[in-house]
Amino acid sequence: MTTAASNKMTKTQKSKSVIGTMKYNTQLQKIDTLVKKHTYSKPSNESRPWSSPPNVSTTQLKQRKEIVEQSPCIRPFVSLKPDLDRVTNICCVDQTTFWIGDMSFGSIMKVKYNSFKTFTIVKVFTHSQCNFYDFCYDRKKDHILYTDRSNSSIMSISSKYEMQRLKSVKPLYPTCITVTPDDFIFVGLVDEYSYEESRSREIVKMAKNGTVVMRIQSIQDNLVRFTMPHKIAIHPNNDIVVAASDKTGGVMLSFDTEGQQKFKNIVTCPGVPFIPFGFTISKGGNIICCNEANGEFYILNSKGQLMKTVQSNLIGISARPWSLAFDPQQILL
């Protein structure tokens, strides 16, 4: 990317989104987490992992301290502002490299930070190149796999930034995608991008050559399990965990390796909307999801039981969380 192109991109896309980088372990590790030159902010004292914003009362600050002390896996550590209106997708390559994207505009960026405290954009794929719904990192091949809304296909971006179509899913449209440790792909398919019920909606497991080996239907025994799958990930116990919507609102679901439903959880209490676009799973098996509607984080165990609710504003995160990912060191981005 040329300097001129980078400047043009910075001017045309306002830096509105903020990624909160939070820590999973109980002790903050000293890592060189660096960000883009003009937007670096790091707490100077580990005993105060947030900066006191204006107009915040002593009571509110005490609430924040209590929340942080009780929730060691979710705490602010460092923040950065990429040149995207919002970050709807994130996945980590290593401790200093990750991919981020905004599904509203289709942009996917590979970004890097280093010990010289610089945050740089390595590569950008624009909306015209990849109008994506979701993407994931294929660690075995060092590829990005993404679902393209324009051509209804599963696409890949190689380590040399070559784009390739893996499989067309027409006449359906792809949504969420993930790759399993044993090299299979899970992808959500819908007949249209809406929240309407349909027997055409499903989650399929396929080989890299496109051969479908399992289907998880959205409607089973006349019961609607989901209508729109947003995000999917594989649990350490090999369960398939899905953030989706059904006719009543947002849900978190889990299926076993045979596609049988294990749990379905709306997480919040009645009357509180749940919009679960982003979630991730720790190595220990905890499911951390965020509610775009009110900015809350929910920590679930492998059975889908709610262990803790954390309000993002009480730990110094002002923006609504959209996407989550653990890096190889179990730092939560």
The CATH superfamily label for domain 131-266 reads TolB, C-terminal domain (2.120.10.30)
Q: What pLDDT is recorded for position 115? A: 62
Exposure of 162 in the CB half-sphere (CA atoms within 13 A): 5
Element (H, E) at 197: none
What is the Cα–Cα distance from 16 to 18, expressed in whole angstroms?
Answer: 7
What order of strands is seen across the sheet that includes strand 249-255? 228-234, 240-246, 249-255, 261-265
pLDDT tens for 73-117 read 555 555 566 667 778 899 999 888 989 998 887 789 998 876 655
pLDDT tens for 274-324 read 888 789 999 999 999 988 888 888 999 999 999 988 887 776 676 777 888
String of DSSP letters for 41-80: B--S-TTS-S---TT--HHHHHHHHHHHHH-TTS-EEEEE
Residues β-bridged to residue 232: 242
What is the torsion angle, in degrees rounded to the nearest 10, for the CA atoms of residue 191, residue 195, residue 199 and residue 201? 50
Ordered by start, the domain boundaries in the chain are 18-129+282-333, 131-266
pTM of the model: 0.76
Bridge-based pairing of strands 163-168 and 153-157 is antiparallel
Give me the amino acid identity at 169.
Answer: V
pLDDT tens for 241-267 read 999 998 888 999 999 999 999 999 887
Residues β-bridged to residue 212: 206
Three-state SS across 89-116? EEEEEECCEEEEEECCCCEEEEEEECCC
What is the Cα–Cα distance from 263 to 96, expressed in whole angstroms?
Answer: 35
pLDDT tens for 129-188 read 999 999 999 999 999 999 999 999 999 999 999 999 999 999 999 999 999 999 999 999
Q: What pLDDT is recorded for position 321? A: 75
What is the Cα–Cα distance from 21 to 81, expressed in whole angstroms?
Answer: 11
Element (H, E) at 141: none
Residue with tokens 């209804």: 152
Element (H, E) at 298: strand 296-300
CB distance 43 to 49 below 8 Å = yes
A 10 A CB-CB count for 188 gives: 29
Query: pLDDT over 90 for what percent of the chain?
Result: 46
103: left (phi over 0), alpha (psi -120 to 50) or beta: alpha
